[in-house]
Amino acid sequence: MIESNITNTDISALEPRLVDVLENGTADIDAAITSAYDLLFTFFINSQRKIKRVCKHLDLSTTAVQDETQRNRLVVTVSTFSSNGTITLYGSNDNSTFTTVTSQAFTAASTYKKKFYDLYDYYKIAQTNDGTASTVTSYLVETAFELAHIYLTLAILYREIISKYGSSYQEKADYYLGLYEKTLEDMTYSYDLDDDGEVTEEEIENNRVTFTR
């Protein structure tokens, strides 16, 4: 599936003064993030790709699993919470010697997301709890779509600003739309061609898109 985990913090990091220009501040940013995701999703539906085969999750457990696609975001979902705990992610290139990659603490029933940059061929997790165990699932996901999502969100926001304040922001809107299109053209992501639940190196494709306006 197409998954993007950007937040208004990611948008503000690129354009810190944007929130002061928007009528409803971060609420407008959140709405634009949703709109941009909907457009990305629709784009891939129209491109004849089956969404369920795009960027599949890598489910994690205490048994090591191989990652062929350089996933670099850990997602931890606590469905039943009974006590505070921590999920620790370990990585290895030989499936023998493992190194701590990152960890994510949890303090409530919620979904926690964390990006990391030390990439390995194999991953496994360990869960620690203070007291009785909570019900927790963890997986890795690609971040391939996140930069394109950020740029499209900014293009949408600047177009909204143009409608309120005039064309002085047109250059910004065009700039981020151009970055979005270029990023989408050059994007590399995984696609499970045979839908067997596993993505191999051969199933990582470079997506070439022709844009018309």
- pLDDT, one tens digit per residue, over 138-190 is 999 988 889 999 999 999 999 989 988 888 889 999 999 999 999 988 887 77
**CB–CB of 11/27 below 8 Å?**
no
Range 87-104 average pLDDT: 97
Alpha helices in the chain (DSSP H): 8-14, 18-21, 26-46, 146-165, 170-186
Residue 61: C-alpha distances to residues 82, 106, 110, 124, 160 (Å) = 20, 17, 19, 6, 44
Q: Mean pLDDT, the chain, as a whole number?
A: 86
Is residue 101 within 8 Å of 90, Cβ to Cβ? yes
On whether the CB atoms of residues 154 and 163 are closer than 8 A, the answer is no
Sheet with 122-129, strands from edge to edge, namely: 65-66, 122-129, 85-92, 99-106
| Sign of the C-alpha dihedral computed for residues 36, 38, 43 and 49 taken in this order | positive
Determine the average pLDDT of the residues in 41-68. 84
Cα-based distances in Å from 185 to 159, 169, 189? 22, 25, 11
CA 69, 72, 73 angle in degrees (round to 5)?
125
Mean pLDDT of 75-83: 93
Ranked by mean pLDDT, which of 117-121, 125-129, 187-191 comes out on top?
A: 117-121
What's the angle, vertex CA 107, arms to CA 91 and CA 32, rounded to 5? Answer: 80
Residues of the chain with CATH 2.60.120.260: 58-141
CATH superfamily of 58-141: Galactose-binding domain-like (2.60.120.260)
pLDDT exceeds 90 at position 191? no
pLDDT at 198: 66
Name the residue with tokens 């354009």.
Answer: 15
Whether the pLDDT of residue 213 is over 50: the answer is no
Q: Give pLDDT, residue 208.
A: 46
Q: What pLDDT score was predicted for residue 39?
A: 92
Burial (0-12, 13-18, 19+ Cβ within 10 Å), 85: buried
- Which two three-digit tokens encode residue 195? 């839908």
**How many beta carbons lie within 10 A of that of residue 24, not counting itself?**
10
Q: What integer pLDDT is reported at residue 152 of this predicted model? A: 96
Does the pLDDT value for residue 211 go beyond 50?
A: no
